[in-house]
Structure 1
Amino acid sequence: MASLLAKDAYLQSLARKICSRPSPEPHKRKSGKTQGSEAAGPPKKKRKRAQKKSRERGQKAVEPQAQALGGKPRAASQARKPAAAKEEKTSGPVVSADGLAAESDSVFALEVLRQRLHEKIRTAQGQGGTNELSPAALEKRQRRKQERDRKKRKRKELRAKEKAAKAGGAAEAAEPPPEGPGKEAQRQPGLLFNKVEVSEEQPASKAQRRKEKRQKLKGNLTPLTGKNYRQLLERLQARQSRLEELREQDAGKARELESKMQWTTVLYKAEGVKVRDDEHLLQAALRRKEKRRAQRQRRWEKRTAHVVEKMQRRQDQRRQNLRKKKAAKAERRMEKARRKGRVLPGDLERAGLA
């Protein structure tokens, strides 16, 4: 309210200043008339009549605009007419028609602004001016208020639900259900970011790993697996020699041990282990491996010899190029000396004078 009253006071003071300010005098145009011609009476009367007609036209133009907006601006303009006439009389110089038109426009604009300001003041005092609103506008305003209340209640319910869900999740995290060791072993964590899960079990020692490996063996018999054919062949020959020795001592024990070894081999093969227990195949694989090794050795030796030979050729070529360069340099120096008139020992030998 204080700001609106301040605006109203400011607009009224501005209107008083504009109304009291004299309009700018028109520029006097130079003419070739003499002082005697200016002193003549009839031209002055014509000028006064023209000013009066222009003033009347300006007032007639202002009146319809004030009637369109309401009766208040018209009454205000009529009330200000005597004051404006007095100011014009006291101002002294004659006012042109353009100055009157500008003054009337400014007064009209100020009246419009003042009317809008009073309407805003009345609206603020009456909390929206419900008396002037139509029933449709009042109904629309009521519907909007109800919709705002409904949305507010809905947001409040959603916040209450979220708070209850967070409280329940915190309680569940604080008291996790006990799980058995079997479930923990079966559970496999997926891909975790910024989190490293470390098991509580310590890494197994070398002796423990050896013990576990022995427990996995079936019948205390290590399967013949791998690609070290020489070692596999030696182990197979050792088994056969042990069987032969046992057969010479006790044939029954030898047969029992042989059947046990065969069953163990069958069990390993059933699990998917590739057992290499054929002596002929092992010997053939060993021969192939030795042959490939010999071939690689020969290729390596050949490549080494080729590299050494290439390096030697390049060294020989370099030495030869250096000798040629040195000889060419010496020949250029001798040729330069001959051009200067010097006689060299080689020249005497060529001429047969030495």
Structure 2
Amino acid sequence: MTQLALNSKDLKGAGKGLSSEEWMKKRERRKQERERKKRKRKEFRMKKLAEKAGETVKTEDGENLESAAVTPGPVEKEMTTLVFNKVDVGFEYKSKLQLKKEKKKRVKGNLTPLTGKNYKQLLSRVEARKAKLEELREKDEAKAKEMEEKMKWTNVLYKAEGLKIKDNEGMLRASLKRKEKIRAQRKKHWEQRSLHVLEKMQHQQDKRRKNIQNRKHMKLEKRKEKARKKGRVLPEDLKKAKL
């Protein structure tokens, strides 16, 4: 029985639980894998060469690798003129008529949503709707009820779109009262600030006027002292001497 001799590495591998036959099979598989990788690398290199030369190359597997030679196109001359790119600012101008049409499309059931922070206007609109319903209820109860349901469902649709509908009369009155109170406080603070600013300005002017007078008085006194040193007799000195 003929058997291939194992080298030292094979013996080490066989000592790890593999028999000699299994180890030989494993070596054969590795060898086949290496040959397959070499063949693939060779085909890849041939394909690259074919792309450069523009030829057809036949591989070992019988496949034809075709590639067209890349012909360089004409070189464009450099333009000396300035080229301005188109800039998209993402804003489209819309006329007032278009905006009005879009606003009408957003309105549901011919009812403008009660939104915003103008509580006085919102309150007047709520009161007007309420008065209109009362007037219609006196004439036709069914129509008034139908209109009320329509208003409720329209508000529900607006709320579903994420709008905050402000149709509560009591809350609107409270908000309006709070807003007027804040406005009155701000007005009072502004008046106090204005008065304080005026007082401060007046104080600064008085201080400046006083400083100017003191400076003038000091200059006059210096001149008098110089005159006395030179031997001049001033009217003030004569009055003091008589006294």
TMscore range, shorter length: 0.5 to 0.7
More helix by share: 1
2:69 matched to 1:156? no
1:314 maps to amino acid: Q
Superposed displacement of residue 224, structure 1: 0.3
Match of 2:32 in 1: none
2:134 maps to amino acid: E
- Map residues 262-341 of structure 1 onto 2, 5 A cutoff: 262-341=152-231
Q: Deviations over 1:183-225 (max 9, x none)?
A: xxxxxxxxxxx664599xx855432332232233221111101
Aligned positions, number: 176
Match of 2:122 in 1: 232
| TM-score (norm: length of structure 1) | 0.44
Superposed displacement of residue 341, structure 1: 1.7
Match of 2:112 in 1: 222
- Note closer, same or farther for the CA distance 1:153–1:281 as it changes in structure 2 (3 Å cut): same
Larger radius of gyration: 1
Match of 2:240 in 1: 350
Match of 1:254 in 2: 144
| Secondary structure, counterpart of 2:116 in structure 1 | coil
**Cα distance between partner residues in 1 of 2:184 and 2:204:** 30
**Cα distance between partner residues in 1 of 2:143 and 2:69:** 74
**Cα distance between partner residues in 2 of 1:271 and 1:166:** 58
- Note closer, same or farther for the CA distance 1:243–1:152 as it changes in structure 2 (3 Å cut): closer
Contact 2:51 2:68 in 1 (8 A): no
Superposed displacement of residue 259, structure 1: 1.4
**Cα distance between partner residues in 1 of 2:66 and 2:215:** 94
2:158 maps to amino acid: Y
**Cα distance between partner residues in 2 of 1:249 and 1:165:** 90
| TM-score (norm: length of structure 2) | 0.63
> What are structure 1's unaligned runs of at least 5 residues?
1-149, 168-193
- Note closer, same or farther for the CA distance 1:152–1:217 as it changes in structure 2 (3 Å cut): closer
- Map residues 1-354 of structure 1 onto 2, 5 A cutoff: 155-159=48-52, 160=54, 196=87, 203-352=93-242
Q: Deviations over 1:291-329 (max 9, x none)?
A: 111222222222222122111111111111111111111
**Cα distance between partner residues in 2 of 1:165 and 1:204:** 53
Contact 2:137 2:143 in 1 (8 A): yes
Superposed displacement of residue 166, structure 1: 7.9
**Cα distance between partner residues in 1 of 2:189 and 2:210:** 31
Contact 2:51 2:69 in 1 (8 A): no
Q: CA RMSD in A?
A: 3.1
**Cα distance between partner residues in 2 of 1:166 and 1:226:** 66
Contact 2:50 2:67 in 1 (8 A): no
> What are structure 2's unaligned runs of at least 5 residues?
1-42, 55-64, 72-84
| Secondary structure, counterpart of 2:201 in structure 1 | helix
Q: Percent identity?
A: 57
Superposed displacement of residue 155, structure 1: 4.6
**Cα distance between partner residues in 1 of 2:99 and 2:229:** 93
| Secondary structure, counterpart of 2:166 in structure 1 | coil
- Work out which structure has the larger RCO, using CA pairs closer than 8 Å and 6 or more positions apart in sequence: 1
